[in-house]
Structure 1
């Protein structure tokens, strides 16, 4: 299966931060992707996404420690298999009512470390309005969307329970 090559959209400043904090550079990315592909071939039963723009989020989350990144990638797929109800019908329209009420919502400003902040207003949740399953779906969807952004992959995400 062919891979989709990574395309860097980071500013020069963010590239420097990624290199300093994560050890990321062109050569490290290339070696890490090749090692991930090798690991994927050893697990043919799992249909891994080979889009490097998707895979890089796992490498960055584990500071380019490929073994740890691959474990996280496997857990991602295992979670989708173990609790498919969180990911089935995975579309914003299906949980619009939850998102409209702010369960969860992303603050417009970042925290002092440049991280996106995901807030949950747990005290305002009315279980008769929608089930916890819908909140979980919304949370997974919001996090998935946030980590598509390269700066968020480097800066991270923080959470706040209000």
Structure 2
């Protein structure tokens, strides 16, 4: 499974309240998505496009356990999330929603706007703009099956024969 898109690059400690601000929790995901990342990148939600790739440094997704943060990213068109390290519950929420969450501890040299490609089965991130390559974690086959099905709920339906 490969993904290619524009890189959106963020630093350390991008928490769930930054990704999906809690003051908009009562709105639908579609409405709340307009405020995603506003605290650190005012125009992110307006500029992010279908297939873009979200890249962050350490401790991505710390904070609350609610699924709204990865769901917001998915709604905005993010197809894969890459980080040097993840908060475990955010990582699992991404997987449960069908978003590959890839650990890539040494992606330095990727800038916002670079065109990148990631092969989640090989565990390889390519910066197509700068012609550089980075080794990343590989997702196990059972997780890949879940992602291919569109997330945990859809995966469970397929194995139950629904």
- Calculate the TM-score normalised by the size of structure 1: 0.24
Bigger proportion of residues as strand: 2
Counting helix residues as a fraction of each chain, which structure ranks higher?
Answer: 1
Larger Rg: 1
